[in-house]
Amino acid sequence: MTLATSNPLLQPWATPYGLPPFADARAEHFEPAFDEALKAHRAEVDAIGALAEPPTFENTVAAFDRSGRLLDRIGGMFHNLTSSETSPALQAVQTRMAPLLAAHDSWVSMHKPLFARLAALHAERGALGLTAEQRRLLERFHADFVRAGARFGPAEQTRYAQIMQRLAELTTRFGQNVLADETAYRLVLRGDADAAGLPAFVRAAAKQAAVERGIDDAMVITLSRSHIVPFLTFSERRDLREQAYKAWTTRGEHAGETDNRPIAAEILALRNEQARLHGHASFADHALTDTMAGKQSAVTELLSQVWAPAKARLAEEREALAALALSRGEAAQLEAWDWRYYAEKVRQVRYDLDEAQVKPYFPLARMVEAVFDCAQRLFGLSFTHQPQVQAYHPDVKVYEVRDAGHALVGVFLHDNFARATKRSGAWMSSFRSQSRNTGANGEAVLPVIVNNNNFAKGAPGEPTLLSFDDANTLFHEFGHGLHGLLSNVTYERLSGTNVLRDFVELPSQIFEHWLAEPEVLKRHARHHLSDAPIPDALIEKLQAAQRFNQGYETVRYTASALVDMAAHAQTTPPADIVAFEREELARIGMPDGVGINHRLTHFQHLFSGSSYAAGYYVYLWAEVLDADGYDAFVEAGDPFDPAVAQRLRQFIYSSGNSLEPSEAYRAFRGRGPTVVPMLKQRGLVEDAA
């Protein structure tokens, strides 16, 4: 029996839709499979570089885009499992493979014969008669290689490869440490005294968490956002709120094996060295050269437009919260673990809106129907559950996706529940990307897309009820999913979400707008017991309260974005990241008792990979685009206007990276974006009316 016949990862994946062989694969299969896939990719790259024929687009650029498909297939399965359904065995493989995979990436990007062919074509690109998409592919590959050190001398290339390998080790450890801290923590509540103030839906989720952890006769609050935020919002036990909040915000900041402080500091130092090899003073300067923003000043200008008005709004919100606390005979000095609790009380008084009153209308199953229905009405897509198809966990549902003509578009996996084997947060990923560059047979590659959320699972037989914020997260990630599913390009490098990082959040954030549309709510927000549609009065309250607490939310986000940019803008990176964070927050005038979205010790956007390093600002950048972009539907007078939806699909969801992002946005909107709709959306400026 050979490796190819004994290892299910190396055999043809004779599974429905070509999904990974989840049932057959084990952790020990991955390293030998990676070894074979790396050898195969090296052989493909060597063959392209050794061609005797002069370089052409087809024999060099298109051929390189086709290379590495076995590696992509195995890597797609592996990286999704280590995020969504990991184990000690998989984590051990992840630790060993991270530097090897990084070394391979460096080897490819520094392959002199291949880069010489790409560079020759790039120099003559205007005279090659390329299509717009072909030229874009050539330009993106050339930029990829240059940014990975292809032009460096031998000594610089050796050092650069060492940096990238070490960064791969460190970012892997950082993410594993955060997961370890999250998994280890549990706040056990016993009896009504511990659970004082918690609504039935919070108690039910906490009881289910206790059952899953084998704790009898108790409720458990974990560090999953869908547990911790409701607890901080409703618990009357200030001492327990403080305990839970401090555990949540000190992930990665404990001495011992899971201490992320030295890891993050070393990552920052290595990134700075990486940038200096490219001739930049800081990593922020280097990273931003390949973004829509382009430079630090553009990011600073955007963040400064919201920072001052957000702090002013926060001060008003604080006064209201303190007044309510005083009226109840409680402390007027609000701490970070108090804000959500008193904000909910103020919201109840000001808008007669109680989250416990809202949640029964947002069962998860109904909200999933809502995102599917919006995708059908906008883009003609249908999602059909395939219960007979097994995924990597029983909770994961597999859907067949077809277009209006009933042609198969792709496969969608929905993984919605928190568990100890899954990292926190919410994200979209792919097991397979869309493309048509498959060589002689020309058969299109259909995407396999997964959405991950971390909702607190309801007890057996009971529905999972979402907050409005949870539902918004569901819509957000589904927008990313549509970006992958609707991709309609030829080349894999340009497919789906492979876009500039300050454009990647536009498809997700614009899709959030449909959740708040009254006709969507009336159709899908239905009481889980009576099936009655959400009352108009409750919709009006939700809309009236949309801008409530936005000073708090905007300050927390913007502070995180400013700290990210500051940390990566240092020419001498900080050795003590906790002290740096504290000093930077003081420098920008961070208000007391608020907290930030992510502290550096658990800021996975920055340190579990590099995609959002010096890039957390992208959510606000994309919000400028999404607020302005959704106004196209408002101006059309119909949230499902067919003409606007067609432009949205063609230029935003389907074009991938085949168009320069500013060009894509202008093609959709008919002009460039303006910032005013975003400021109005956050309630930071008044409507003209």
What tens digit of pLDDT does each residue of 513-563 get? 999 999 999 999 999 999 999 999 999 999 989 889 999 999 999 999 999
Is residue 459's pLDDT more than 50? yes
Q: How many domains does the chain have?
A: 4
pLDDT at residue 3, as a whole number: 67
Is residue 285's pLDDT more than 50? yes
* Residue 196 and residue 337 share a domain: no
Q: How far is CA 638 from CA 519, 520, 634, in A?
A: 11, 12, 6
**Domain stop point among 249, 265, 299:** 249
Give the mean pLDDT of the chain.
95
Q: Which tens digits make up the pLDDT trace of 86-112?
A: 999 999 999 999 999 999 999 999 999
Is residue 170's pLDDT more than 70? yes
* Residue 213 and residue 318 share a domain: no
* Residue 298 and residue 206 share a domain: no
Q: Does 280 fall in a domain?
A: no
* Residue 308 and residue 205 share a domain: no
pLDDT at residue 440, as a whole number: 63
Residue (of 443, 389, 469, 436) closest to 131 by Cα position: 436
Q: Does 274 fall in a domain?
A: no
* Residue 441 and residue 405 share a domain: yes
User: 61 near 138, Cβ under 8 Å?
Assistant: yes
Q: Does 619 fall in a domain?
A: yes
Q: Does 267 fall in a domain?
A: no
CB count in 10 Å sphere of residue 180: 17
Distance (Å, rounded) from C-alpha 168 to C-alpha 102? Answer: 6
How far does CA 478 lie from the centroid of its chain? 11
Structure tokens at 564: 């990210």
pLDDT at residue 2, as a whole number: 63
**Residue range 568-575: average pLDDT?**
96
* Residue 506 and residue 644 share a domain: no
pLDDT at residue 443, as a whole number: 79
Confidence of residue 4 (pLDDT cuts 50, 70, 90): low
Distance (Å, rounded) from C-alpha 598 to C-alpha 165? Answer: 26
* Residue 523 and residue 399 share a domain: yes
Angle subtended by helix axes 661-669 and 618-636, to nearest 10: 20
Q: Which burial class, exposed, middle or buried, applies to 121 when counting CB atoms under 10 A from its CB (0-12, 13-18, 19+)?
A: buried
Question: Do β-strands 219-221 and 187-189 pair in parallel, antiparallel, or remain unpaired?
Answer: antiparallel
Is residue 437's pLDDT more than 90? yes
Distance (Å, rounded) from C-alpha 19 to C-alpha 8? Answer: 12
User: 64 near 111, Cβ under 8 Å?
Assistant: no
Q: Which tens digits make up the pLDDT trace of 586-595?
A: 999 999 999 9
**Residues 569, 558, 83, 359, Cα dihedral to 10°:** 180
Q: What is the DSSP letter of 388?
A: T
Considering 182, 317, 355, 477, which one is annotated as catalytic?
477
Is residue 441's pLDDT more than 80? no
Q: What is the DSSP letter of 10?
A: T
pLDDT at residue 355, as a whole number: 84
Can you give the residue range of the structural domain that contains 434? 360-536
Active site residue 477: yes
Is residue 686's pLDDT more than 90? no
pLDDT at residue 442, as a whole number: 67
Is residue 689's pLDDT more than 90? no
* CA geometry: angle 662, 664, 669, nearest 5 deg: 90
* Residue 635 and residue 580 share a domain: yes
**Measured on CA atoms in the order 649, 651, 655, 656, is the torsion positive or negative?**
negative
Structure tokens at 581: 């964070």
Is residue 176's pLDDT more than 90? yes
pLDDT at residue 333, as a whole number: 85
Q: Does 180 fall in a domain?
A: no
Please provide residue 596's backbone torsions phi and psi, each rounded to the nearest 5 degrees. Answer: -120, 165
Q: What is the CATH number of the domain that holds 483?
A: 1.10.1370.40
**Domain stop point among 122, 147, 172:** 147
* Residue 521 and residue 564 share a domain: no
